[in-house]
Amino acid sequence: MKLGMAQLVLLLTVVASLWGCVTRLPALIDPQDVTGGLVVGRVTTALTGDRSRRFSPAVRFVEIEDQVFRKRFQVEINSPDRHFVVHLPFGQYRLTRVQISEGPFMSMADVAMTFPVDATAMTYVGTWRFGVDVPHYGRMLMVSVVANQAEREKTQEFLDAQYSTLKGSSMLEMLPQPTEVEARLYEVMPYPRYPRNFRRHWW
């Protein structure tokens, strides 16, 4: 009986660890590893409300989940404005989470925006704009997707400069839906130690 209980605990531990696995991807795939199923886009951050802040926000990572196999991919952005080019297998995906960094402080928001990834052509998912609210209780994150002519041209220029082998390749526009969402931002623990005279929030 004890052996059976131990096996059950081990099984549950393994299942939990597998469920929690996340594949981390750099924002830019190595040019030598370029294959089919490329997803191309851009991430930017913008301030909403009071702009006189000690720390400017940046996107630390975005998390994307395969809707069929439930595999999660964490794209490491670490910038307030950056293009990304990653490989994702053909399928239906959902942008599920974004982490924002502001100096030593971190916050997280859960979102739900879906998009397909084509198997043959590059999938262009537009520019993801993350509007970060002023620090206060109940602060929000505004997410919008933009894909106008100017943004497409910037992305094409970036691809031509970074990935010469992709010149002339077809690019299929598949914008995440809905194109605008609003989500609550939550602090990520552990909270950093900071001098007492510096207040993160005023409420």
Does the pLDDT of residue 70 top 50, yes or no? yes
Please report the pLDDT score of residue 3 as a whole number: 47
pTM of structure? 0.83
pLDDT of residue 199: 44
Q: Band of the pLDDT at 2, cuts 50, 70, 90?
A: very low
pLDDT tens digits, residue range 157-178?
999 999 988 888 889 999 999 9
Q: Which amino acid is at 12?
A: L
Q: Where are the domains of the chain?
A: 22-187
Q: Which one is predicted more confidently, 120 or 198?
A: 120
Q: What is the dihedral of CA 148, 151, 154, 159, to 10 degrees?
A: -90
- Which of 57, 37, 33, 60 has its CA nearest to residue 47? 57
pLDDT tens-digit readout, 4-41: 665 554 554 444 444 458 999 999 999 988 877 899 99
Mean pLDDT of the chain: 85
Given a cut of 50, whether residue 111 has pLDDT beyond it is yes
What does the block give as tokens for 99?
């982490």
**CB 151, CB 42: distance < 8 Å:** yes
Residue 136 predicted with pLDDT over 90: no
Distances (CA, A) of 58 to 92, 100, 104, 105, 166: 27, 6, 11, 11, 28
pLDDT at 7: 57
Percent of the chain at pLDDT above 90? Answer: 62
pLDDT at 202 over 60: no
- Give 181-197 pLDDT, tens digit per residue: 999 999 987 655 555 44
- What's the pLDDT score for residue 1? 41
Give Cβ neighbours of residue 34 (< 8 Å, ≥ 6 apart).
87, 163, 165, 166
